[in-house]
Amino acid sequence: MKKYTIISLGCPKNTVDSEVLKGSLNRAGFGFTDDVDEAKVIIINTCGFIKDAKEESIETIFEAVELKNDDPEKIVIAFGCLTERYHDELVKEMPEVDAIYGIDSQAEIVKYLTKGRFAMPDEATVRDLITPPYQAYLKIAEGCDNKCAFCAIPGIRGPQHSRTIDDILREAEYLQQKGVKEVILTAQDLTRYGKDNYGSLKLYDLVDELLKGKFFPWVRIMYTNPDFWNPELLKLYNKYLDLCKYIDIPVQHASDRILKLMNRGKKSEQIRKTITEIRNQVPEIAIRTSIITGFPSETEGEFNELLDFIDEMRFERLGVFTYSEEEDTKAAELTDDVPQEEKERRQEILMETQYDIATEFAASKIGQEIDVLIESEDNGHYIGRTMWDAPEVDCFAVVKSNRELKPGDFCKIKVTKNINMDLFGEVQ
């Protein structure tokens, strides 16, 4: 049995692609290993979204090539966003790489490695999880129809193409049978789901059907665009207990001039109304957003406007990114005139403000009884997440328990304290 490994970089959508490939190769008779030294086939699923991600992908490919130099029998394959975007350049500059593919190339990779003897099965029921077995991403659409000035994704992954509700539900049933407890809906923009194949926005219908099916104890919604936000979704948060009271709604900025340059649809006041409506309809919800600092021509005054907006809206969770110029985007036509040091200074100020906001949110939970999904054990305590925390990007709950718990278990704790943004509690 030939051993292989997959190094999956970038976003959860890449994770899903890697899991489909992993499941296919396992069925074709290959054996997965986490050890790159042991693996005879090293597959890198690359990210080409921003400068740091591209550099990480290139470095990872070079590291795999160095291993191949020590062991010429190794096979190195790269695919994904970076290789889709720079295929010809990479083929020329990295002749040591055995095969370079773009996106959606899992079937081609399987064909290459099996010399055409094995065809990839149905994607919806082939996945072998890379994530912990109790948690999975469920990709509902690929590509994007938005034209955000800073984003290269539409040029890499093309226009949006949504899966059918029936196909998604079939995969949800498969994941349920695999023992998944938490599923996270993902796409480049969930809010436009269904517009391309159903002719109208269908995220409400999809989530309603998914929750009716009682597939998972927790369902989490990520990557919703405020420009296409459907307030009807809020009814589902109050209707279904298994829909985590958490929403990811990246707003990117608060200055109307910068939002216009970014080619975002809603103005600052409209975004405020959307956030206020979400809070009014679902009081317990945690809202996560993403912000970009140092967009071309962002003034100190516009940054302060953004800072005031963050302080006013009190987002429970926040990611702040410095602007990175991407070729073949509308923003690349603008002068990248904010120095990197200034971008990072503004980022740091926002994160300091957010630290206080998130700490205040954590302190507000003291004395409450809340559900926690256990993920690991550390020094006699268990580490988990609440419904207000997505994996890898948010906060933790530290749990004391007199009974044994294992990853994937749910428990109810009484919160006894917080240390900064993280909660501490005891099992009830």
**Torsion sign, CA atoms 264, 265, 271, 277:** negative
Report the range of poorest mean pLDDT among 125-129, 321-325, 392-396, 412-416.
125-129
**What are residue 273's phi and psi, to 5 degrees?**
-65, -40
Mean pLDDT on 170-192:
95
Mean pLDDT on 283-296:
96
Element (H, E) at 212: helix 203-212
In this predicted structure, what is the pLDDT of residue 413? 97
For 87-146, what is each residue's pLDDT tens digit? 988 888 889 999 999 998 999 999 999 998 887 777 667 889 999 999 999 999 999 999
CATH superfamily of 369-427: Nucleic acid-binding proteins (2.40.50.140)
According to CATH, what is the number of the domain 124-363? 3.80.30.20
In this predicted structure, what is the pLDDT of residue 380? 84
3-121, which class in CATH? alpha beta
Has residue 1 got a pLDDT over 80? no
Lookup result for tokens 């991600």: 53
For 256-289, what is each residue's pLDDT tens digit? 999 999 999 999 999 999 999 999 999 999 999 9
Domain boundaries defined on the chain = 3-121, 124-363, 369-427
Has residue 370 got a pLDDT over 90? yes
In this predicted structure, what is the pLDDT of residue 52? 81
Mean pLDDT on 333-362:
96
pTM for the structure as a whole: 0.92
Mean pLDDT on 5-26:
93
What is the rounded distance in angstroms from the CA atom of residue 269 to the CA atom of residue 107? Answer: 46
Query: Are 124-363 and 369-427 equal in CATH topology?
Result: no
For 67-81, what is each residue's pLDDT tens digit? 998 899 999 999 999
Mean pLDDT on 18-34:
93
Contact 61, 89 (CB under 8 A): no
Q: Half-sphere exposure (CA, 13 Å, Cβ side) for 353?
A: 20
